[in-house]
């Protein structure tokens, strides 16, 4: 009998969650030395399919073969033993441990009388050398750059013998130079026979690194093709079922007075995320976009303007007055936020959509009286958000955790931008990673809403790792590195290359 040419075969995989069909009779193959790009909108079924492959979910129907052998259902340990490794978009590393300790975590039996560190160190160095991933085993992970941390995550999988590697949004937090280095590494991996499943919403890089593309839509496999035979427009059409128009932003022509002035502000130097003598002016009718690699002070800046972190020196003026110290006061006078982490900070997953829709204004007279919530008013406002911002997933009464990432982000966007009756529209919008991990259609929608808010007179601060987003949205652009901020200059003064260099610490 002829051996199968495939290292991985998924056959007729189906998975249902209640009335939702997440995967509908999907069959997919992967060859040795192949990069297969897996594409689809948020909620298309990519995460469910990968969770079934990795053993976190059990399929309702179908089977999986790895290197010609059946893969046991719902068994992550069996998936690892079969040679499947996964690098998640959000790293799972312990900052206080060394590179070697992070790689060894979970790879040795607990009953070993001692850790075989010397042999493990040599094995790690051998793997790093083989795949062109230089690493210092004793370096503390907390001191590494984002690109170096990703390298450690990949080495963790390779150290455990991964021959099939799943990369989930691998360039989401990388500088352009780090992305180029990753692409070089992927080339070395496939040249040595590894097979890669590459999940990304960045269509240009998908076409650059992949051998073949597979597209999911509404739980079904709708298209497969060689990467060389398709265009970005064709991929977008397959993903959403219709053409996607990129956001249209004309230069701002109605820049008004100063809404927020940050003057020489520093925050607690004991925190890893800190600001060092940052100055910035935000005006109505303008978008200021801040680029930078995550971890360089962007979170501290967002928290400062949202009232959850204090300045240790310098001053912040909002609408001509000192910045109120209370987040509740800030919301009341028209400060809106789109937080960086929609799951951990943006919503409470177990609460229904309608409660999350008014969570930041619950104590206002519009939605409560004494200790009682005006449920009818609250749900009516939530329904307006669901309708206007196209939040799909079951309406205002369903648990928020049941929404896809894109629809959860639309809910947060609607909460920030659609003021309830009798309350002021947003004067200052802090949008931190507003399109993180979203599909092409959701990205276009979110960006267009921010442009519309600018055109309505709001001052908009966009903080993003995505250079495309920074270039599309920013009327003025600044770059943050090691807690310091460059001058915010007109977007025409910047190129992708100059932004990338500034993100790496070079003076613009």
Rounded Cα distance between 318 and 105, Å, is: 47
Domain 246-334+425-508 has what CATH class?
A: alpha beta
CATH 3.30.390.30 fits domain 6-240 = no
**407 phi and psi angles, rounded to 5 deg:** -75, -30
290 contacts 298 by C-beta, under 8 angstroms: yes
Q: Enter the pTM of the model.
A: 0.73
Which is nearest to 430 in space by CA: 312, 269, 287? Answer: 287
φ, ψ of residue 485 in degrees (nearest 5) = -120, 130
Fold: same for 6-240 and 246-334+425-508:
yes
Determine the Cα–Cα distance for residues 408 and 412; give it in Å rounded to an integer. Answer: 6
Domain ranges of the chain: 6-240, 246-334+425-508, 344-423
Per-position pLDDT tens, the chain of length 508: 446 689 999 999 999 988 778 899 999 999 999 999 999 887 788 888 999 998 889 999 999 999 999 999 989 889 999 999 988 766 778 888 899 989 888 776 545 555 578 888 899 999 888 888 888 899 988 888 777 888 888 888 889 888 999 988 887 667 677 778 888 888 888 988 899 999 888 888 899 999 999 999 989 999 999 999 999 989 988 988 776 776 777 777 788 889 999 999 999 866 557 899 999 999 999 999 999 887 788 989 999 999 888 899 999 999 999 998 888 888 888 899 999 888 778 888 889 988 888 888 777 767 777 778 788 888 888 899 999 888 877 788 888 888 877 788 889 999 999 888 777 789 999 999 898 777 788 888 889 999 999 999 999 999 998 888 899 999 999 999 989 999 999 999 999 889 988 888 777 6
Q: Which residues contact 411 (CB under 8 A, 6 or more apart)?
A: 347, 353, 356, 357, 385, 386, 389, 391, 400, 403
């Amino acid at each position: 009998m002829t051996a199968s040419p495939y290292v991985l075969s998924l056959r007729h995989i189906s998975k249902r969650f209640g009335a939702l069909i997440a995967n509908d009779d999907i069959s997919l193959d992967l060859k040795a030395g192949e990069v297969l790009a897996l594409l689809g909108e948020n909620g298309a079924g990519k995460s469910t399919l990968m969770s079934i492959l990795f053993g976190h979910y059990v399929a309702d129907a179908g089977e999986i073969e790895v290197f010609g052998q059946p893969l046991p259902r719902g068994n992550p340990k069996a998936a690892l033993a079969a040679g499947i490794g996964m690098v998640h978009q959000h790293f799972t590393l312990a900052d206080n441990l060394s590179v070697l300790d992070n790689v060894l975590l979970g790879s040795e039996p607990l009953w070993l009388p001692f850790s075989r560190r010397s042999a493990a160190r040599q094995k790690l160095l051998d793997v790093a050398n083989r795949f062109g991933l230089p690493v210092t085993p004793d370096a503390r992970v907390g001191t590494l750059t984002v690109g170096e941390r990703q390298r450690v995550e990949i080495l963790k999988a390779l150290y455990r013998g991964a021959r099939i590697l799943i990369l989930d949004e691998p360039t989401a937090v990388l500088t352009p130079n780090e992305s180029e280095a990753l692409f070089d590494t992927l080339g070395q991996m496939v040249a040595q026979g590894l097979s890669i499943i590459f999940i990304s919403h960045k269509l240009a890089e998908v076409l650059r690194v992949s051998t073949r593309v597979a597209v999911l839509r509404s739980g079904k496999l709708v298209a497969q093709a060689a990467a060389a035979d398709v265009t970005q427009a064709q991929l977008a059409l397959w993903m959403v079922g219709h053409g996607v128009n990129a956001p249209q932003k004309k230069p701002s022509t109605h820049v008004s007075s100063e809404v927020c002035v940050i003057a020489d502000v520093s925050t607690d130097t004991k925190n890893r995320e800190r600001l060092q003598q940052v100055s910035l002016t935000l005006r109505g009718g303008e978008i200021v976009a801040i680029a930078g690699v995550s971890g360089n002070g962007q979170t501290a800046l967002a928290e400062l303007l949202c009232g959850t972190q204090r300045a240790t020196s310098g001053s912040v003026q909002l609408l001509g007055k000192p910045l109120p110290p209370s987040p509740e006061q800030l919301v009341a006078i028209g400060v809106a936020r789109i937080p960086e982490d929609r799951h951990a900070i943006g919503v409470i997953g177990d609460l229904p959509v309608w409660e999350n829709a008014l969570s930041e204004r619950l104590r206002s007279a519009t939605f409560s009286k004494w200790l009682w919530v005006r449920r009818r008013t609250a749900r009516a406002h939530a329904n307006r958000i669901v309708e206007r911002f196209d939040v799909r997933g079951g309406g205002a009464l369903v648990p928020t955790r049941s929404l896809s990432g894109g629809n959860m982000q639309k809910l947060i966007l609607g909460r920030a931008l659609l003021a309830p009756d009798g309350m002021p529209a947003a004067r200052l919008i802090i949008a931190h990673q507003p399109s993180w991990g979203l599909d092409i259609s959701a990205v276009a929608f979110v960006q267009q809403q921010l442009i519309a808010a600018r055109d309505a007179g709001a001052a908009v601060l966009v903080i993003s790792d995505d250079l495309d987003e920074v270039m599309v949205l920013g009327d003025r652009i600044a770059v943050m590195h090691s807690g310091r901020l460059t001058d915010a200059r007109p977007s025409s003064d910047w190129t992708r290359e100059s932004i990338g260099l500034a993100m790496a610490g070079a003076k613009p």
